[in-house]
Amino acid sequence: MDFRASLLEQTRAFGDLIRSADPATPVPTCGEWTLRQLFRHVGRGNRWAAQIISDRRSQPLDPRDVRDGKPPEDADAAIDWLDDGAQLVIDAVDRVGSDARVWTFIGPRPAGWWIRRRLHEATVHRADAALALDAEYDLPPELAGDALSEWLERACVDKRNAVVLDRGQSIHLHATEEKLGPTGEWTIVHDGDGVWWSHSHSKGSVALRGPVTELLLATVRRKTAAEAGLEVFGDTAVWDAWLDSTPY
């Protein structure tokens, strides 16, 4: 997958969705945010990441210190600001090198890590905007699958959130798109090594099955399993406890 091209594409799609909408529209999946706040969050977030990379920071950056972190008032100029921010992330990685170690909220990572992270920030927040506007939302299966994998990678290592999965319990997610092959299955387990995940096929304490985009939206708590039309098998309390403990 070309993460760079996808970052630009998803950012443009996010901006196009919001461009003609009322900025005061509530975004129910983001607490009390409006579309204006969601737009600023995504746009400033890209510039925040680009500055972390460019400065080769080893410590976090206060979002208030992001250069050009506020979108212009003019709607068209604001869209340009949004799109330019995504390109700034890519340009910053090119300048310092993909392997240069920089700060991230889950510990030092190669600078190139940020491109995939910002891609899926746009992927999920585009869903927030679409749900707020009752607009169509779809993703290529490979992109939705990678978004789900990237989210699980962070959830299992992010020390800011203690994910709840009792020892011996497991969760299995199964996408119905056959073209995904082995990458269309995710198993989360808690064993002697702690909580981790893999693309293995196994029976979980609870299993969810359905289209990969809907699995993604359920996992990141944008839809319930029922709203996403997913089949659920096994102990639903395990799934509910996992969701309650995971980052939003």
DSSP string, 89-109: HHHHHHHH-TT-EE--BTB-E
Can you say whether the dihedral through the CA atoms of 189, 202, 227, 181 is positive or negative? Answer: positive
Span 149-164, pLDDT tens digits: 999 999 888 767 677 7
Cα separation of 218 and 59, whole Å? 33
Model pLDDT, residue 248 = 73
Closest CA to 2 of 146, 176, 151: 146
* Per-domain residue ranges of the chain: 3-133, 142-245
DSSP class of residue 164 equals -
Rounded to whole angstroms, how far apart are CA atoms 27 and 153?
26
Specify the pLDDT at position 161. Answer: 67
CATH topology of domain 142-245: Nonspecific Lipid-transfer Protein; Chain A (3.30.1050)
Helix (H) or strand (E) holding 175: strand 170-175
Q: pLDDT value at position 202? A: 86
Sign of CA dihedral 105, 108, 109, 114: positive
How far, in Å, CA of 50 to CA of 93, rounded?
8
Which pLDDT value is given to residue 74?
Answer: 94
Give the contacts of 62 (CB within 8 A, at least 6 positions apart): none
Residues 6+ positions from 130 with CB-CB distance below 8 Å = 17, 136, 137
What pLDDT, on a 0 to 100 scale, did the predictor assign at position 159?
66
**Same-fold call for 3-133 versus 142-245:** no
What pLDDT does 187 receive? 97
CA distance 5 to 25: 29
Report the chain (248 residues): mean pLDDT per 10 consecutive residues.
97 96 97 97 98 98 96 95 98 98 96 98 98 97 98 85 84 97 96 89 94 98 98 97 86
Structure confidence at residue 121 (pLDDT): 98
22, 19, 21, 41: which is closest to 30 by C-alpha?
A: 41
The residues that bridge with 109 in the sheet, in sequence order, are: 102
CA distance 248 to 246: 6
CA 152 – CA 145 distance, rounded (Å): 11
**What CATH superfamily classification does 3-133 receive?**
dinb family like domain (1.20.120.450)
